[in-house]
Structure 1
Amino acid sequence: MSDQPPRAERVDGSPPQREKPPPTAHLRRRRFSFVWLIPIVAAGIALYLGYRTLVQQGPLITITFNNAFGLSEGQTQVKYKAVALGTVETIDLSPDNSHVVVRVRMNGVGTRFLTDHARFWVVRPHFSPSNFSGLDTLVSGAYIEVDPGAPGGRYRAHFTGLQDPPGVRSDQPGHTYVLKAESIGSLSSGSPVFYRDVQVGEVLAYDLGDGLGPVTINVFVRAPYDRLVRPESHFYNSSGVSAGFQGGGFHIEFQSLQAIIAGGVTFDLPKEAADSAPSPNSAVFPLFASKGEAEAAGYQNQIPIVAYFQTSVSGLSRGSPVNVFGIQVGEVTEVKLLLNPNKGTAKVRVAMQLQPERVFSANEFPKNETAPVVLQKMVDRGLRAVLESGSLITGQKQISLEVVPGAKPAKITREGSALVMPSEGGGLDNIMSSLSDVTTKLSKIPFDALGSNLNKLLVTANDTIGGPEVKQSLTSLSTTLKDVQQLVKNTNDGLAPTLKALPGLTKSLQTTLHAATSTLGQVGRGYGSDSDFQRNLEQLMDQANGALRSIKLLADFLDRHPEALILGRTGRATGG
């Protein structure tokens, strides 16, 4: 059997026609448009960025600051060594309005900085005498800097920002030391620390404590200079300018211009500390007020001396030098006034420290002699403590140990651990005291009575000189001198006639000279030496002396040539 249906025959008997199959439907495919790639790629990028953001996004932390000056939401970044670690999201005030709360979204790199050792602060332009920093923020704006601190630590998401940048970063090698001082002077945070005029560190901070004890100052010394800080090192305040008279001239000393403006600390390394080990971190040192005090503290042998004075010590103060023959051997440590209300007396106690190492080396100082014995030997030879002027311009005084001629014997005594040195007045005070004594003695001289007596004496002298006896004596003396001159002239022609009158002339001359001597004695007692009459008398006496010399020559000639009395100076006698 066939499953096919019977063919239908046509009425006219013609064979039936075959029916055409129905037409087949064909679907037309739509082509892919590349326009769709743009949103697909964009969606893929968005998904990738979202995934990356979710993967790399760090935690949200909060940092509190005193103010938000320079900070902006969505712009201010958190940086470490100029690498961005996060961005500020929001800035709000605290509930009590005392500070601001800054929320920062950290990235994946910045997450490892979030420990309790980390420190945050705002970097802004900073101008101070000690340094200038943050100048780049004038263009780029402020940012938050982070210091990760020491390795380790626990995770933390809430921080309190620093008001100022820390002096030492965790990645900076070096050591921190503690200094103790009575006052800080012009020191402040950021003041430099020097060694041989090279800046090797800075002052970190200071603490007054309870206000009764010394001030604590923390300083940082960078490596490798921290190995120069040893137990024998001395720190001293090198701030400002030191001026004074030294070596006969005006001396000015300062560390640097930076130390003048911002203050500074300097430390040294003594030669005897060459083999010592460096000091550990947080070692404590005293901070001396000056270089001189630091040098004095380095002397191992210190001999305390005390001297008492009862004169003015104005200009003498702590640190004043103690000299021997102009060479400093110590310094004054205390000047104190002592009053005794019971006796009503007062004196000044001056404490000193003698430092033999200023003069003697360790090998030169006598080993078998003690300080009291050596000083007693010197005191026996007149050594005394004398207060003298160091500068007449500034009025500064100093103590001089010098030998005083004729000093009374004294003994060295003890006052606790100090030796009591005998003192002696000296210097300008002694000169003024001597002048005062001279003035007192001069004031006791009766100048008025002396003037009155002198006036009476001059009146008497005038009466005496103007009298007839003096005039007659002078007339006789003048006549005699003329005769003597005529006699000398006549001897040139011949001695015989002249010698006949010689005895009478000699007698007359002696009488006249005796009268003149008596008269001049009265003149010398009653008349001044500076007068015209006195000068005339002196001229007459010179003439009289010339006449007597002529007579003496005549007598000598007659003694050698007696025949001249007969022959005169002519003939054979002349040839002799």
Structure 2
Amino acid sequence: MNQDNSSETRSVPARVNKTNVFTSVVWIIPLVALVAGGWLLMKQIRETGPRITLLMDSAEGIEVNNTVVKVLNVDVGRVIRIKLRDDRKGVEVTAQLNADAKELMRSDTQFWVVKPRIDQSGVTGLNTLLSGSYIAFTPGKSSEEKHTFEVQDIPPIAAIGQSGLRLKLTGKNDKILNVGSPVLYENFMVGMIESARFEPADQTVHYTVFIQSPNDKLINSNSRFWLSSGFHIETSANGIKVDSAPLGALISGAISFDAPKTGDSHAVKNNDQFTLYDSQSEVANLPDGRSIYYTAFFKQSVRGLTAGSPVEYKGINIGVVTDVPYFDRNDSLHLFENGWIPVRLRLEPARMEINADAQSKDVWKQQFQTALDKGLTATISSNNLITGTKMVELTEPRGSSPKLKPHTVYGGDTVIATQTGGLDDLQVQVANLLEKFNSLPLDKTVNNLNGSLAELKTTLKSADAALKSVNSLVGKPQTQNLPAELNATLRELRETLKGVSPQSPVYSDVQSTLQSLDKTLKDAQPVIQTLKEKPNALIFNQNAKDPIPKGSR
């Protein structure tokens, strides 16, 4: 039995079955999770764009996870961090962009903050009153990538994809315009100012302007730029001219330019340099290669005569005053000794070539020298009585007026003889007349006049007394009855003569006498009738009206 039991309890060898680990459900789930995670990671990498740094002066209106980054009004990123810059000169904003914006981050990409703004372009950014400010940018075209940018406070002038021409303007101006101010061509807005800064070292103003296409074709190498104020008042001999610019220029001012097309003009390139002048009148008075300079000395006041005042010959503008006064080196130290003020003039041959071919500078110098040899002189005349501006007028000499020509050449320029004229000359003549009038013996003349008036008064009193006597005589009844008495006497004389024979000589003489007397009485009848009607006819003219006495002063 023991043997049987031992045989029953003998162990049997174990059999091992091999199982494939990949067929186990336990390992399938982690594997699927790993694959999904990798796919999501790759997708995240593909959809996530670059992380950029934006440098700003202030974080006003910018919030983490709320402020978005847009291009063409499409969200392409979001602000994820804001911190102070290491140099304490602003803030550093970090923004995470989408993959769509990866190729847009170039070295010439421009960023700015969009917020409510009122400027010369109008009212913009009103939609941000509810949604909040956001950061916008214009994609660059450079091949160089960049991830740190300066954020501007205002939008750039050139829009996305907009072509045009950028120019550099420099001038010593007395004011500076704001970025965004318009650039005008004949009052048409063709561009805007992109940047403006003042350089203290040389006291110049530097601008960058952008001229949109196709307006950039107006610019050539001879173009001239000047500041244009919003409201311009110009006074001249023709009166007062008021010129108003467009609304944008009225608010902030503008830069204007012209485009003279001459044979030597050529096209310009980006970032070419031009000079910026203060006004259009300064541009109009710019010299050219044929300008001729002269100097004139005046002993009268030069008040009202300024640089830019016209120089005219018989009403034709032929030049301009360039310097008032124009003293040579140390010559102003003898101002009170000499008593004259030198003024520099510039004559422009182009203004004298009216409907004529252009002549050389030497030809015009010779013609003008011939006129000077004949006595052509310069005088200061009034240009506008209201504003008191003056001008220089070139005229032929007048009479024996003294001429002033202390030098033949002064400061390298030929000197023109001068003489007084205009209102100043009139004032001198009036002053001389008043001086002569004051030297007259007025007291003696007035005393004699008073004596003559007293004698006249006595004579008038005597005449008045005589008139009263005549009126009294004429008014007596005897004088008025004189014609009737004469008629009665004649009738009696006729009765007496009836006794005289008609054949006697006495009769004949008496008859002739009576006829003469009768004729005389007939002639006297109108006079007597006039005396009856107007007793004072013997003194005053009977055909004139009665004098009306004047009242006392």
Please confirm whether the aligned pair reaches a TM-score higher than 0.5, indicating the same fold.
Answer: yes
In the alignment, what sits opposite 1:311? 300
For the residue of structure 2 that corresponds to 1:437, the secondary structure is helix
Selected match of 1:301 from 273, 290, 303: 290
Pair 1:391 & 2:384 matched: yes
CA–CA separation in structure 1 for the residues paired with 2:117 and 2:78: 23
Structure 2 stretches of 5 or more lacking a match? 1-31, 467-510, 517-536, 542-553
In the alignment, what sits opposite 2:226? 236
Q: Deviations over 1:220-277 (max 9, x none)?
A: 112222222111111111123221344643310133232121111111111425x732
Shift of 1:327: 2.2
Selected match of 2:150 from 141, 151, 160: 160
CA contact (8 A) 1:238 1:290 kept: yes
Pair 1:439 & 2:437 matched: no
Selected match of 2:64 from 73, 82, 92: 73
Pair 1:202 & 2:202 matched: no
Instruction: State the aligned residue count.
Output: 444
CA–CA separation in structure 1 for the residues paired with 2:281 and 2:389: 17
CA–CA separation in structure 1 for the residues paired with 2:91 and 2:210: 31
CA–CA separation in structure 1 for the residues paired with 2:539 and 2:397: 53
The 3 A distance-change label for structure 1 pair 401 and 57 is same
CA–CA separation in structure 2 for the residues paired with 1:78 and 1:284: 35
For the residue of structure 1 that corresponds to 2:221, the secondary structure is coil
Shift of 1:448: 0.8
CA contact (8 A) 1:325 1:402 kept: yes
For the residue of structure 1 that corresponds to 2:269, the secondary structure is coil
Selected match of 2:205 from 190, 196, 215: 215
Letter in 1 for 2:380: L
Q: How does 1:164-203 map to 2 (within 5 A)?
A: 164-169=154-159, 171-183=161-173, 185=175, 187-203=177-193
CA contact (8 A) 1:305 1:353 kept: yes
Q: Deviations over 1:292-346 (max 9, x none)?
A: 2222327552111221111112111111111222222111111117544496333
Q: How does 1:57-72 map to 2 (within 5 A)?
A: 57-72=48-63
CA–CA separation in structure 1 for the residues paired with 2:285 and 2:88: 54
Letter in 1 for 2:134: Y
The 3 A distance-change label for structure 1 pair 419 and 217 is farther
Pair 1:277 & 2:270 matched: no
The 3 A distance-change label for structure 1 pair 362 and 180 is farther
Q: Which structure's CA Rg is the greater one?
A: 1
In the alignment, what sits opposite 1:93? 84
TM-score, length-normalised on structure 2? 0.70
Pair 1:356 & 2:345 matched: no
CA–CA separation in structure 2 for the residues paired with 1:173 and 1:418: 49
Pair 1:258 & 2:248 matched: yes
CA contact (8 A) 1:186 1:263 kept: no
In the alignment, what sits opposite 2:258? 268
Selected match of 2:316 from 317, 327, 331: 327
Letter in 2 for 1:432: Q
Shift of 1:208: 2.4
CA contact (8 A) 2:176 2:205 kept: no
The 3 A distance-change label for structure 1 pair 44 and 221 is same
In the alignment, what sits opposite 1:406? 399
For the residue of structure 2 that corresponds to 1:202, the secondary structure is strand
In the alignment, what sits opposite 1:482? none
Percent identical residues: 29
CA–CA separation in structure 1 for the residues paired with 2:107 and 2:231: 43
CA contact (8 A) 2:193 2:208 kept: yes
Q: Deviations over 1:129-164 (max 9, x none)?
A: 35543333234332212233232114x433332343
CA contact (8 A) 1:320 1:332 kept: yes
Q: How does 1:467-482 map to 2 (within 5 A)?
A: none
Q: Deviations over 1:522-560 (max 9, x none)?
A: xxxxxxxxxxxxx99998xxxxxxxxxxxxxxxxxxxxx
Q: Deviations over 1:10-62 (max 9, x none)?
A: xxxxxxxxxxxxxxxxxxxxxxxxxxxxxxx9999998666532431223333
In the alignment, what sits opposite 2:6? none
What is the aligned-residue RMSD (CA, Å)?
3.9
Letter in 2 for 1:204: E
In the alignment, what sits opposite 1:522? none
Letter in 2 for 1:389: S
Selected match of 1:376 from 356, 369, 377: 369
The 3 A distance-change label for structure 1 pair 384 and 112 is same
Selected match of 1:109 from 81, 86, 100: 100
In the alignment, what sits opposite 1:23? none
Q: Deviations over 1:167-197 (max 9, x none)?
A: 3356321221122221153522111111122
CA contact (8 A) 2:236 2:383 kept: no
In the alignment, what sits opposite 1:38? none
CA–CA separation in structure 1 for the residues paired with 2:104 and 2:413: 61
Shift of 1:90: 2.4
For the residue of structure 1 that corresponds to 2:370, the secondary structure is helix
Between stretches 136-145 and 316-325, larger displacement belongs to 136-145
For the residue of structure 2 that corresponds to 1:375, the secondary structure is helix
CA–CA separation in structure 2 for the residues paired with 1:306 and 1:367: 21
Letter in 2 for 1:103: T
The 3 A distance-change label for structure 1 pair 310 and 536 is farther
CA contact (8 A) 2:171 2:204 kept: yes
For the residue of structure 1 that corresponds to 2:430, the secondary structure is helix
The 3 A distance-change label for structure 1 pair 365 and 538 is farther
Letter in 2 for 1:295: A
The 3 A distance-change label for structure 1 pair 239 and 211 is farther
Shift of 1:121: 2.2
CA contact (8 A) 1:384 1:421 kept: yes
Structure 1 stretches of 5 or more lacking a match? 1-40, 472-492, 499-534, 540-576
Shift of 1:114: 3.2
CA contact (8 A) 1:63 1:103 kept: yes
For the residue of structure 2 that corresponds to 1:171, the secondary structure is coil
CA contact (8 A) 1:228 1:278 kept: no
CA contact (8 A) 1:244 1:250 kept: yes
Shift of 1:441: 0.9
The 3 A distance-change label for structure 1 pair 247 and 449 is closer
CA–CA separation in structure 2 for the residues paired with 1:183 and 1:394: 25
The 3 A distance-change label for structure 1 pair 55 and 343 is closer
CA contact (8 A) 1:234 1:285 kept: yes
CA contact (8 A) 2:349 2:361 kept: no
Between stretches 409-418 and 447-456, larger displacement belongs to 409-418
CA–CA separation in structure 2 for the residues paired with 1:288 and 1:159: 34
CA–CA separation in structure 2 for the residues paired with 1:459 and 1:146: 103
In the alignment, what sits opposite 2:410? 415
Shift of 1:218: 1.8
In the alignment, what sits opposite 1:451? 446
In the alignment, what sits opposite 1:22? none
Shift of 1:459: 6.5
The 3 A distance-change label for structure 1 pair 284 and 386 is same
In the alignment, what sits opposite 1:82? 73
The 3 A distance-change label for structure 1 pair 197 and 240 is closer
